[in-house]
Amino acid sequence: MLRHALFIVISQSGRSPDLVAATRSARTAGARTIAIVNAASSPVADEAEFVIPIEAGREHSVAATKTVIGSMAAGAGLIAELAEDRILRSALERLPERLRRALALHWGGITDDLTKASAVFVAARGLGLGSAREIALKLSEVLRLPSIGLSAAELQHGPRGALSSRTPLLMMRIMDETAPMVDALAKELRQQKIALHLCGGPHGSLPWLAEDDPATDPITMLMPAYRMIEQAALSCGFDPDRPPRLSKITETF
């Protein structure tokens, strides 16, 4: 029984059978069910008790971007209200303007390394980990590069052995208790001649805004990453909106 559980499902289309079935099962088992969806009229939304619409408009490209940012912001907003977190509420009020400013940031300095890469690593810690995995997914989808999103802590262990001059690393550093570790790791990797591109902090190599809340900065960092991936795809002659062998709605069961 899930009588005292909160079940949250996040979906762009709200049509994947596995998400529909999981939401129905959770609600039947007694959980409070919340659907964060872009398509408010969808099977997932119909199965949930409460619906938070992203309202980002239609996604035209296969690789979702604005709905990812919208769903992360909606999730943060839900947490802010449930926890009555005034600091997070304030950060979310600043988020639209920060996203607008981040859109102008140019991360094109990564492109040369990507075109020569055999694989790409994207790393972060704490609340940045979700964005790291999202960026790695988009690198695989749009640039057709094997990409791994992982915790920066893992680069102190086995995955570090796979780093080389042909495996560039994009690392994101947010202003929380994990920042000193990320700074120290970046210093070590640069000494080892790893192709490191760091966003955030005093030693960052990528254009960035002044640090803000560690819960919303990972959302903002997606904006220049998306632009960089789009521009790199175009320079390689790829269509960033229509990757091969992929469809817009993924129906998994």
Tens place of pLDDT for every residue, the chain, 253 residues?
Answer: 889 999 999 999 899 999 999 999 999 999 999 999 998 899 999 999 999 999 988 877 878 899 999 999 999 999 999 999 999 999 999 999 999 999 999 999 999 899 889 999 999 999 999 999 999 999 999 999 999 999 999 998 888 889 988 899 999 999 999 999 999 999 999 999 999 999 999 999 999 999 999 999 999 999 999 999 999 999 989 888 887 777 666 666 5
For residues 122 and 30, state if they share a domain: no
Three-class secondary structure of residue 53 per DSSP: strand
For residues 223 and 177, state if they share a domain: yes
Asked, for residue 245, whether it belongs to a domain, the answer is no
For residues 125 and 78, state if they share a domain: no
For residues 126 and 70, state if they share a domain: no
- What's the total number of domains in the chain? 2
Asked, for residue 11, whether it belongs to a domain, the answer is yes
Asked, for residue 28, whether it belongs to a domain, the answer is yes
Quick one: pLDDT at residue 59? 79
Asked, for residue 203, whether it belongs to a domain, the answer is yes
Beta bridge mates, 39:
none
Token pair in block for residue 143 = 């640039």
Asked, for residue 1, whether it belongs to a domain, the answer is no
What torsion do the CA atoms of 167, 170, 176, 180 make, to the nearest 10 degrees?
50
Quick one: pLDDT at residue 250? 65
Quick one: pLDDT at residue 127? 96
* Contact status, residue 54 vs residue 41, Cβ threshold 8 Å: no
Neighbouring residues of 247: CB distance < 8 A, sequence distance ≥ 6: 62
Q: Rounded to 5 degrees, what are φ and ψ at 151?
A: -70, 140
Asked, for residue 91, whether it belongs to a domain, the answer is no
Rounded Cα gap, residues 225 and 130, in angstroms: 14
For residues 158 and 44, state if they share a domain: no
Rounded Cα gap, residues 77 and 79, in angstroms: 5
For residues 78 and 113, state if they share a domain: no
For residues 116 and 202, state if they share a domain: yes
Q: What is the CATH number of the domain that holds 185?
A: 3.40.50.10490
For residues 124 and 181, state if they share a domain: yes
Judged by phi (left if over 0) then psi (alpha if -120 to 50, else beta), residue 57 lies in left
For residues 58 and 140, state if they share a domain: no
Quick one: pLDDT at residue 25? 97
Asked, for residue 252, whether it belongs to a domain, the answer is no
Quick one: pLDDT at residue 243? 78
For residues 77 and 132, state if they share a domain: no
For residues 150 and 216, state if they share a domain: yes
Quick one: pLDDT at residue 164? 87
Asked, for residue 120, whether it belongs to a domain, the answer is yes
Token pair in block for residue 183 = 């700074």
For residues 53 and 121, state if they share a domain: no
Quick one: pLDDT at residue 43? 96
| Parent domain of 219 | 108-235
